[in-house]
Amino acid sequence: MQPEYIIIHQQVAPYVAHIQLNRPKELNALNLGLMTEIKEALKVLDADESVRVIIISGNEKAFAAGADIKQMAGRTAMDMYTIDQFSTWDTIKKTKKPLIAAVSGFALGGGCELAMLCDMIVASETARFGQPEIKLGVMPGAGGTQRLTRAVGKAMAMEMVLTGRFITAVEALQAGLINRIVPVELFLQEAIKLAEEIAAQSPLAVKMAKEAVLKAFDSSLEEGLHFERKNFYLLFASEDQKEGMQAFIEKRTPVFKGK
């Protein structure tokens, strides 16, 4: 079935897929349908051997202006508990392949949280990041108090979460929230370039390296180092390891097959 709220571009470059949020009139507000479609698309793309890296973007004006306030406004606590919309986010988090957020314009509330759920963020000069939930009488609910704090530190996270102030792309870069800033007309192109660079590596090594970096966020140093070492050793079971090291010795470019 065709998705209603997103567009899936299968091969925007070799091994690179692109999910575009497509509710432009609502600034890509994340309603339940849209989040479910992202979850389903990621499940399919994560299992697809012709895809190694996935980009998520909105449009020039908005990555996403947050959860759909109109859909949420009348809900009771029991509705929220029963619908449990954040369980979708747990599934998205399990994506093994690298996710790159290409952000232009607003990345607010759930939009900022979705970008932070990705592994890297490429931003346009017009990107604005914020957690304005406090102005709605609530607070971030999908990682805004945790991932943002880990990314930008306590001082800036507190200010953003308690005042709802948006930060610019330059502030976000300085704080370590994003990877790079490019002119608005290039933000998707730049994300594709980054994705291609990663897609040229061994997809097995990439997945295990991603898993190990993420482990740093929820484990002790000792546990994380142990996990890293285990993945490193495990990669010696792959043909890609033989190919990568042999290619270095033969002074040629390796061809990785994901085996």
Which residues are marked as active site?
67, 110, 113, 133
Q: Is residue 26 part of the contact set for ligand HXC (CB under 6 A)? A: yes
Task: Give the count of beta carbons closer than 10 Å to the beta carbon of residue 236.
Answer: 9
Task: For ligand HXC, give the closer residue by CB, 98 or 105.
Answer: 105
Residues 50 and 4: their CA atoms lie apart, in Å, by 24
Out of 8, 16, 21, 30, point to the residue binding ligand HXC (CB under 6 A): 30
Binding mask 199-238 for ligand HXC (x = CB under 6 A): ----------------------------------------
What's the burial of 19, exposed, middle or buried (CB within 10 Å: 0-12/13-18/19+)?
buried
Q: Is residue 37 part of the contact set for ligand HXC (CB under 6 A)? A: no
118, 176 contact by CB (below 8 A) = no
Rounded to the nearest angstrom, the gap between the alpha carbon of residue 54 and the centroid of all alpha carbons in its chain is 9
Cβ 110 to ligand HXC shortest distance, Å: 3
Total number of residues that touch ligand HXC (CB under 6 A): 20
53, 98 contact by CB (below 8 A) = yes
Binding mask 107-126 for ligand HXC (x = CB under 6 A): -xxx--x-------------
Q: Give me the DSSP letters along 166-222.
A: -EEHHHHHHHTS-SEEE-GGGHHHHHHHHHHHHHTS-HHHHHHHHHHHHHTTSS-HH
Of 9-17, 63-71, 228-236, 243-251, the window that binds ligand HXC (rule: CB under 6 A) is: 63-71
The answer for residues whose C-beta is within 8 angstroms of residue 254's C-beta and 6 or more apart is 202, 240, 243, 244, 246, 247, 248
Task: For ligand HXC, give the closer residue by CB, 27 or 120.
Answer: 27
Task: For ligand HXC, give the closer residue by CB, 106 or 256.
Answer: 106
| DSSP tag of 32 | H
Residues 59 and 144: their CA atoms lie apart, in Å, by 22
Cβ 109 to ligand HXC shortest distance, Å: 2
Out of 43, 46, 60, 69, point to the residue binding ligand HXC (CB under 6 A): 69
Rounded to the nearest angstrom, the gap between the alpha carbon of residue 136 and the centroid of all alpha carbons in its chain is 25
Task: For ligand HXC, give the closer residue by CB, 51 or 67.
Answer: 67
**Footprint on this chain of ligand HXC (rule: CB under 6 A):** 26-27, 29-30, 65-70, 106, 108-110, 113, 132-133, 136, 141-142
